[in-house]
Amino acid sequence: MHIGMIGLGKMGFNMRERLRRAGVDVTGYDRNPDVSDVPDTDALVAALPSPRIIWLMLPAGAITAAVVEELSGGLDAGDILIDGGNSRFTQDQAHADRAAERGIGFVDVGVSGGVWGLENGYGLMVGGSDEDVATLMPVFDALRPEGERDESFVHVGAVGSGHYAKMVHNGIEYGVMQSLAEGYELLAKKDIVEDVAGTMHAWQKGTVIRSWLLDLMVRALRDDPGLEKISGYVEDSGEGRWTVEEAIANEVAAPAITAAVFARFVSRQNDSPAMKAVAALRNQFGGHAVRPAGERVTGSGTPSPGSENTGTEPTTAAGPS
Amino acid sequence: MHIGMIGLGKMGFNMRERLRRAGVDVTGYDRNPDVSDVPDTDALVAALPSPRIIWLMLPAGAITAAVVEELSGGLDAGDILIDGGNSRFTQDQAHADRAAERGIGFVDVGVSGGVWGLENGYGLMVGGSDEDVATLMPVFDALRPEGERDESFVHVGAVGSGHYAKMVHNGIEYGVMQSLAEGYELLAKKDIVEDVAGTMHAWQKGTVIRSWLLDLMVRALRDDPGLEKISGYVEDSGEGRWTVEEAIANEVAAPAITAAVFARFVSRQNDSPAMKAVAALRNQFGGHAVRPAGERVTGSGTPSPGSENTGTEPTTAAGPS
Amino acid sequence: MHIGMIGLGKMGFNMRERLRRAGVDVTGYDRNPDVSDVPDTDALVAALPSPRIIWLMLPAGAITAAVVEELSGGLDAGDILIDGGNSRFTQDQAHADRAAERGIGFVDVGVSGGVWGLENGYGLMVGGSDEDVATLMPVFDALRPEGERDESFVHVGAVGSGHYAKMVHNGIEYGVMQSLAEGYELLAKKDIVEDVAGTMHAWQKGTVIRSWLLDLMVRALRDDPGLEKISGYVEDSGEGRWTVEEAIANEVAAPAITAAVFARFVSRQNDSPAMKAVAALRNQFGGHAVRPAGERVTGSGTPSPGSENTGTEPTTAAGPS
Amino acid sequence: MHIGMIGLGKMGFNMRERLRRAGVDVTGYDRNPDVSDVPDTDALVAALPSPRIIWLMLPAGAITAAVVEELSGGLDAGDILIDGGNSRFTQDQAHADRAAERGIGFVDVGVSGGVWGLENGYGLMVGGSDEDVATLMPVFDALRPEGERDESFVHVGAVGSGHYAKMVHNGIEYGVMQSLAEGYELLAKKDIVEDVAGTMHAWQKGTVIRSWLLDLMVRALRDDPGLEKISGYVEDSGEGRWTVEEAIANEVAAPAITAAVFARFVSRQNDSPAMKAVAALRNQFGGHAVRPAGERVTGSGTPSPGSENTGTEPTTAAGPS
């Protein structure tokens, strides 16, 4: 089998390698010539046997859409396009429709596994027609971990369902990471816990919460037991947000996943407009002293001296409320 | 009527004044001699007619407990102690029991109204015996706003119930403030809203959310339309925490109130251990770049260039997940 | 002044009446002939002086869009369309653009006040051009409460901003209602609170949380002190959902408002798929007994006897976890 | 080695068996004579070599406390008591102090693994003195899974820290289960997901969220793909609540874990007082129709016909708000 792959970043680069190790020929294209096998997509299309199979591993959104558009014009009936990036599932049908105008098949694949997938294999969630999926099975089998196919591969349903399943997977991932993080903070703040890293380490076998994310947490703590080298500034990619939007659209209460998304928003704020408003309100009704903007926020959570009292106030008195 | 008041801070000082304006004699004691009428509590006790009525307006916890203990030893049967501070309702019965050993009555009062109570009157939630409450009605009537008694005074039930009701009141207050604050941030972040302060101003009459806290928000924005002078660092007093604990104890889901309490915790952190953990996890599974500790957190929420990509990575590629 | 109003439901019907009382002539149309002044929209258009002003008070979405489309074809340059319904702000620009093709002005107005607006007046949040808004001021002044204009009227910004502000207003409303509701449950579950309705009644004057929604809560409890006649099944209209979606889109943490939306979703479920999943998991790892589907859920929150233990298990033993 | 074990339920019964398979002699007592090795605790104490080691595996709270009290009176200096149940960590020091009055050692152990621990081994989190822990290592090594000790055993710190770590572990477990459950509902509600069980099955290998709890979810779905046989009524044991309380006490925002606890509370309510209050409020301000109590709640989330409109209202009109 011989396929094309466009987008050779952290994911695509490793996937090309895993496919090759499994005996699948891959011609890869990336705009970075250091990793690309061909100079451009035309060369990639020309290099592939017919019917062509081209796997896109590109940033979701405009870039993926542009490449789908370009290839839909350059491929032939019977070829198959695969979008393996983190596209929003709501985009897939439009891409499939565009491809179908020329008789080109379209399959969306949610790919999970991160940088570890090269060695471990990738979890795959696939949306598309039975026929296209059947054609692609050798590719999927090469990418997924060895062992039972059903444990790492699923044909979820029609076009869009693969990315929907991946979105939900990532939404769960947000919630699990937030849960582990809350637990970490609860351990780290407690004096009687003398060995935070050791405690999480000891959860890896036998416990109910043993999991790969826990294993990674242990790895991170091994390198930096107090997480002193890292800032608590956390980006979010689209899937967490989309999961909340799908929760709203489908009337599903998703408080844990949503809490995880909101916590990331707050982590990136230097100062929160909302909390300024709360501080202003407290000042209004209770005369509670406020911190001037720009005063360094301390991490201790300990009120600064006098923060609840004005200077002339008798300190025995009950504060207002 | 002639009562004693111990604790003349922002609340007690104003309450003494409001009582006096209403014709209630008040002998006040505070450890700050500038505001105190008498040099010590012995002098206060000696100054009061029998049966004595002494209103405590002190910080909750050890200080209130110590003064209850002291007075329980110095008062006589038939006297009444009132705890009007923000004591936890779980403390009241012990205080009442201690007072009862000497035949002293005990009444707990939740007092709401903040620094505005002097002019507006205070909302009062009272726990205690029918007899004690009846004795104290002239005091309560002087403190509460004019008009219908039932709109600002309630005898909630037995000892402890006044502070319980006040705790719930304050829990609701947390949730309402948080809701207003979230709305403020939603207005402030949106370009098409050209007049944030004016918008909240226009909610004061006619709308469903008209309220005193909204009025205070408008006042705060009048002085500082962008809340630029204030930091989003928010203390919390005990009532919010106790409300969450009572929610847990009584199996009541209280997600809005709890969110308000947690938001305050986070507002006081310079960096969040939990979010460090999430950042560390993302780095582990996806090779997502992290911010070194100490790197200045920007307020924009915009990813710094390259924050999701390592230097050598082709920028067209889909990131891992 | 003489305007048209289309949609004479609970809101539009009362608004027509309030306008008329203030001396504004209103020709109203509704598909219900009992309340309509004219047989159809053509007749309404014909009845109005030029330049025409037509206020739409229709269900958001398809119905409003259809009427905007219809009128955009039938009105003339210089006429003004007002959308006073709860349309999503993201729809407004398209409606304004459609109207502008014929030189028709478009103004979006968020209207708050519910069925009480007839007597109290309505809070108004307006988006549109300065010129159109100036033309409409007599209408706005008739609808809003008497007194200071700025307390119930705001020109928020360009087209769309009025509905955006109304959306945020309603989002806050969700959070405030949820907060009051959590407080209500905390009072209702506590034995020492002997008078739940009386306690909330006493919060109406003097307290920090005094508000119109609290006044309404007191009214509801006056009629039905234990809320025994009402089911805890709560619909949600669009604004709450849109607020969460805007929170996501603008990276604003809105946990209290979101909690309110999710609580409504859950209130409408007879059984929760998510909680079935949690029950299934507990059964898997711990052998915790589960309830068969269809077994009546009790309201007490008290575990049924033996619910944590299988029949043959020694009851002294620690359960698994 | 020869130890005693008191409490032979789902956990203790299996632990006795695992210890015996590893060559540790165990004399077990349970009040259920079918599983007990001795008729009473006196017999158990008499059967053990000195210094005695007795492992308690009892329900947390009064039962554990009573047995600690009883044994503290009957054991000798140098003996060691182990509390392996789910006791609250705040109880441990009192138990240790009571035991220490007679020179008896006390060690608290958090044990995780559920009914699967017999075969898989148990995760162990231990609090106590270095000396006592060293003495007990053969017991711990027999209970934990084979392989690296540090992956399933940790000496967290002094007395109480083992149960604290277990509490945090279980708090995380709550959050992870809730996250998986939210994801399950998002899959189950979406038509394009044709194979919910298969999708979760495919997450078991290669994905970021692979975990033992996911494995259990897959098991549950294998038996009952739509979870149709199970009710979404979920008990909670103490650890989830305690985790929230510790979050409050230590100023740790724990929104995901708390959401999980609250979701369980709601799952057990037949009707929610809070949501009755919200329904009552909506009815007050908007005339929104409410459902009479006792009317069967439908699971569809679809509004009943006319639920937002009163009978006489024109259906084209915008509802109030």
**Structural domains in chain A, sorted by start:** 2-158 (3.40.50.720), 167-268 (1.10.1040.10)
Q: What is residue D286's predicted lDDT score, i.e. its pLDDT? A: 77
Q: What is residue A115's predicted lDDT score, i.e. its pLDDT? A: 86
* pLDDT tens digits along B53-62: 999 999 999 9
Instruction: State the DSSP code for A199.
Output: H
Contacts of D96 in chain A (CB under 8 A): none
| Mean pLDDT along residues D11-25 | 97
Q: What is residue A44's predicted lDDT score, i.e. its pLDDT? A: 98
Q: What is residue A317's predicted lDDT score, i.e. its pLDDT? A: 53
Query: What mean pLDDT, rounded, does chain A reach?
Result: 91
Q: Answer left, alpha or beta for residue A294, where phi above 0 means left and psi between -120 and 50 means alpha.
A: left
Query: What mean pLDDT, rounded, does chain D reach?
Result: 91
Chain B: nearest CA to C124, how far in angstroms? 7
How far is A283 from A289, CA to CA, in rounded Å?
6
Instruction: State the DSSP code for C229.
Output: T
One-letter amino acid at A2 equals H
| Mean pLDDT along residues B267-281 | 96
* pLDDT tens digits along B119-167: 999 999 999 999 999 999 999 999 999 999 999 999 999 999 999 999 9
The residue to which tokens 């952290």 are assigned: A10
DSSP secondary structure string, A42-110? HHHHHHSPSSPEEEE---TTHHHHHHHHHHHHH--TT-EEEE-S---HHHHHHHHHHHHTTT-EEEEEE
* Lowest-pLDDT range of A80-94, C111-125, C133-147, D293-307: D293-307
* pLDDT tens digits along A100-112: 999 999 999 999 9
| Mean pLDDT along residues C244-272 | 97
| Mean pLDDT along residues C237-258 | 97
How far is A297 from A290, CA to CA, in rounded Å?
12
Sheet strands side by side (includes A2-6): A25-29, A2-6, A53-56, A80-83, A105-112, A123-127, A153-157
The residue among D85, D44, D95, D90 whose CA lies nearest residue D65 is D95
Contacts of C263 in chain A (CB under 8 A): 253
In the predicted structure, residue A302 carries a pLDDT above the cut 70: no
Q: What is residue D124's predicted lDDT score, i.e. its pLDDT? A: 98
B275 touches chain D (CB under 8 A): no
How far is D44 from D40, CA to CA, in rounded Å?
6
Q: What is residue C209's predicted lDDT score, i.e. its pLDDT? A: 97
Q: What is residue C295's predicted lDDT score, i.e. its pLDDT? A: 62
Sign, CA torsion A187/A192/A198/A199: negative
D7 touches chain C (CB under 8 A): yes
D229 is an active site residue: no
Q: Is C179 exposed, middle or buried (0-12, 13-18, 19+ CB in 10 A)?
A: buried
Do D292 and C230 count as a contact with CB atoms less than 8 A apart? yes
In the predicted structure, residue D297 carries a pLDDT above the cut 50: no
C234 touches chain B (CB under 8 A): no
Among candidate residues A10, A17, A151, A166, the one labeled active-site is: A166
Q: Which chain D residue is nearest to residue A185, measuring alpha carbons?
A: D252
The residue to which tokens 């020694």 are assigned: C314
The residue among A63, A42, D236 whose CA lies nearest residue A54 is A42
Q: What is residue B285's predicted lDDT score, i.e. its pLDDT? A: 85
Contacts of C252 in chain A (CB under 8 A): 265, 274
Known catalytic residues of C are 166, 173
In the predicted structure, residue C236 carries a pLDDT above the cut 50: yes
D86 touches chain C (CB under 8 A): yes
pLDDT band at B312; cut points 50, 70, 90: very low
* pLDDT tens digits along C121-161: 999 999 999 999 999 999 999 999 999 999 999 999 999 99
Chain C residues 11-50 within an 8 A CB cutoff of chain B = none
| Mean pLDDT along residues A105-128 | 95
Q: Is A184 exposed, middle or buried (0-12, 13-18, 19+ CB in 10 A)?
A: buried
B29 bridge partner residues: B6
pLDDT band at B290; cut points 50, 70, 90: confident
Q: How many CB atoms lie within 10 A of CB A46?
A: 12
Chain A: nearest CA to B316, how far in angstroms? 6
Q: How many CB atoms lie within 10 A of CB D130?
A: 9
| Mean pLDDT along residues D137-162 | 98
Chain A: nearest CA to B302, how far in angstroms? 8
C248 touches chain A (CB under 8 A): yes
Do C241 and A248 count as a contact with CB atoms less than 8 A apart? yes
Cβ(D99)–Cβ(D72) below 8 Å: yes
Q: What percent of chain C clears pLDDT 90, i.e. is strictly above it?
A: 86
| Mean pLDDT along residues D181-198 | 98
pLDDT band at B319; cut points 50, 70, 90: low
Contacts of D265 in chain A (CB under 8 A): none
* Lowest-pLDDT range of A291-305, B101-115, D274-288: A291-305
B90 touches chain D (CB under 8 A): no
D57 touches chain C (CB under 8 A): yes
- B304 CB contacts (<8 Å, ≥6 apart)? B291, B298
One-letter amino acid at C310 equals T
* pLDDT tens digits along D206-218: 999 999 999 999 9
The residue to which tokens 């509370």 are assigned: D265
Do D274 and C307 count as a contact with CB atoms less than 8 A apart? no
Cβ(B247)–Cβ(B241) below 8 Å: no
Instruction: Find chains touching chain A: ≥3 CB pairs under 8 Å.
Output: B, C, D
Do B299 and A271 count as a contact with CB atoms less than 8 A apart? yes
In the predicted structure, residue C47 carries a pLDDT above the cut 70: yes
pLDDT band at D317; cut points 50, 70, 90: low
Do A279 and B231 count as a contact with CB atoms less than 8 A apart? yes
Of the two residues A66 and B314, the one the predictor is more confident about is: A66
* pLDDT tens digits along D248-263: 999 999 999 999 999 9
| Mean pLDDT along residues B213-239 | 95
Instruction: Name the residue among D115, D181, D265 with its Cβ closest to that of C278.
Output: D181
Cβ(D263)–Cβ(D257) below 8 Å: no
Instruction: Find chains touching chain C: ≥3 CB pairs under 8 Å.
Output: A, B, D
pLDDT band at A300; cut points 50, 70, 90: very low
B177 touches chain C (CB under 8 A): no
The pTM of this model reads: 0.93
Q: What is residue B301's predicted lDDT score, i.e. its pLDDT? A: 36
A169 touches chain D (CB under 8 A): yes
